[in-house]
Chain A
Amino acid sequence: MASTTALSPVKSESALWNALRLVPGVLLLAAIGYAGKILERFLNTYAKAHHWTFPNIEYVLWAILIGLAIANTVGVPKLFQTGIATYEFWLKLGIVLLGARFVLADVLKLGGISLALVVIEITLSLALMTFLGRLFKLKPKLTTLLAIGSSICGVSAIIAAKGAIDADDEDSSFAIAAILALGALALFTFPAIAHGLHMNDVSYGLWAGLGVDNTAEATAAGALYSDAAGKVAVLAKTARNAMIGFVVLAYAIYWAGRGQAEAVTNKAASLWKKFPKFVLGFLLMSLLVGFHAFSKAQIGSLGNLSKWAFLLTFAGVGLRTNFRDMSKQGLRPFIVGALGEVLIACLTLGLVVGANRIWGL
């Protein structure tokens, strides 16, 4: 009893301290995101007032660019780093809230198409990355991590797989660096290519969701094109994320069979542990809207809350992208990743064009 009462204040103090440590970084995310929003509005108004022909640059890009500029020039002081790491929390919160902007029928239709394309994309991507890894003589587990990262969902998939297949820290940081660098490139190349091809919002959103690896970058790449494309990109990426448990489990069994990872004793528990719970939250929101739990104005409010959460995410995407750190990770995994990503981007573009012809997206 005495020990419980003695421990409680310590525990609550550390929880409070942990929460306080987040504040500077979260404030920085909010400040950068909001600066991006102000810049977008200011430049549009200024260009209009002076009759300039100025392309509409979305707040998404400004927030990322400001973050990139800070991270790659003055750097991010340690004080802010813990709070900045919450960008992933804001991303997931934004995705769950975005579920309110989807009618369940849309989720089922687009989600069904996405899921069919995701299965094809994952199968082909895994085969392609495994082939490239062998061709370039990468370590087998590094190849596995790159294959999982590029076929499903970037950094978190790599982290999840690292534990499941007992991969080295060095291999996983190689794979993460390659996926992040390529995600940063995709932010600029995907919208430019799509504009060149005059893709519609749904097709582009599907392509971004299938072709860009990390969820934050996929969301940003979609939003950079249009609001509608951003929504579809999130839906397609969410369908892709839902597959993480199955692929990681399959690799865990493969490596355990070779005696190089712990055996998987409870497959169902392992699947549930790896399953991204925010996918369920997204579906729940969509379901509630389907049952008319919210009025039109309330759905608008939930959509705006989702945008605010994404605003912090996009600032975080820029702030945690440090090109100097990435260049230290070596060239070979990056080349394999880049080759794979270009091929996967072409492949997913082909899949989306095909789906557009079949289902008329």
Chain B
Amino acid sequence: MSTDTSSNTPLSKGGSLSLDTWAVIVAVVLALAVRFGILKNVPW
């Protein structure tokens, strides 16, 4: 759905990275935090 042109949020304007790339980076950081026990048993 998205491309580099897909959003007007400051997040996508904030540098050369697209919104998609930011989403992937944040997801990887969260996954690492879960993997190494920084985030434990996230509730729902």
Q: Do A and B bind each other?
A: yes
Cβ contact of A307, chosen from B6, B11, B24, B44, cutoff 8 A: B44
Complexed CA–CA distance, A95 and B20 (Å): 11
14 pairs, CB–CB < 8 Å, chain A vs chain B: A88-B9, A89-B11, A91-B1, A95-B23, A100-B31, A154-B1, A156-B1, A157-B1, A277-B21, A298-B34, A302-B30, A302-B42, A305-B34, A307-B44
Complexed CA–CA distance, A310 and B13 (Å): 22
Complexed CA–CA distance, A302 and B41 (Å): 9
Determine the chain B residues whose CB is within 8 A of the CB of A293 once the complex forms: 35
* Cβ B31 vs Cβ A159 within 8 A: no
Complexed CA–CA distance, A280 and B18 (Å): 14
Can you list, as one digit per residue, whether each of A289-300 has a CB less than 8 Å from chain B (1) or not (0)?
000011001101
Residues of B within 8 A of A (CB): 1-11, 13-14, 18-24, 26-28, 30-31, 34-35, 39-44
Number of interface residues of A (CB under 8 A): 53
* Cβ A277 vs Cβ B9 within 8 A: no
* B-contacting residues, A100-121, CB 8 Å: 100
Nearest B residue to A274 via CB reads B3
* Cβ A301 vs Cβ B28 within 8 A: no
Determine the chain A residues whose CB is within 8 A of the CB of B4 once the complex forms: 273
* Cβ A301 vs Cβ B7 within 8 A: no
* Cβ A244 vs Cβ B34 within 8 A: no
Complexed CA–CA distance, A237 and B39 (Å): 29
Q: Which residue, A277, A300, A307, has most C-beta atoms of chain B within 10 A?
A: A277
Determine the chain B residues whose CB is within 8 A of the CB of A302 once the complex forms: 30-31, 34, 42
* B-contacting residues, A1-56, CB 8 Å: 15, 18-19, 21-22
Residue A348 CB within 8 A of the other chain: no
Determine the chain A residues whose CB is within 8 A of the CB of B26 once the complex forms: 93
Nearest A residue to B13 via CB reads A18
Residue A92 CB within 8 A of the other chain: yes
* B-contacting residues, A137-193, CB 8 Å: 153-157, 159-160, 162-163
Cβ contact of A18, chosen from B1, B14, B23, B39, cutoff 8 A: B14
B39 to A: closest C-beta gap in Å = 6
Nearest A residue to B23 via CB reads A92
Determine the chain B residues whose CB is within 8 A of the CB of A15 once the complex forms: 14
Determine the chain A residues whose CB is within 8 A of the CB of B43 once the complex forms: 304
Can you list, as one digit per residue, whether each of A275-286 has a CB less than 8 Å from chain B (1) or not (0)?
111101100110
Complexed CA–CA distance, A160 and B2 (Å): 8
* Cβ A92 vs Cβ B2 within 8 A: yes
Complexed CA–CA distance, A163 and B2 (Å): 13
Further pairs besides A85-B8, A285-B31: 20, Cβ < 8 Å: A22-B9, A22-B10, A85-B7, A88-B7, A88-B19, A153-B1, A154-B1, A159-B3, A160-B5, A162-B5, A214-B1, A276-B2, A276-B20, A277-B23, A277-B24, A297-B41, A300-B42, A302-B30, A305-B34, A308-B42
Complexed CA–CA distance, A298 and B44 (Å): 13
Q: Which 3 A-B pairs have the closest CB atoms?
A: A18-B10, A92-B23, A281-B24
Complexed CA–CA distance, A307 and B28 (Å): 16
* Cβ B27 vs Cβ A298 within 8 A: no
Complexed CA–CA distance, A88 and B21 (Å): 12
Complexed CA–CA distance, A276 and B23 (Å): 11
Complexed CA–CA distance, A224 and B23 (Å): 24
Complexed CA–CA distance, A294 and B10 (Å): 33
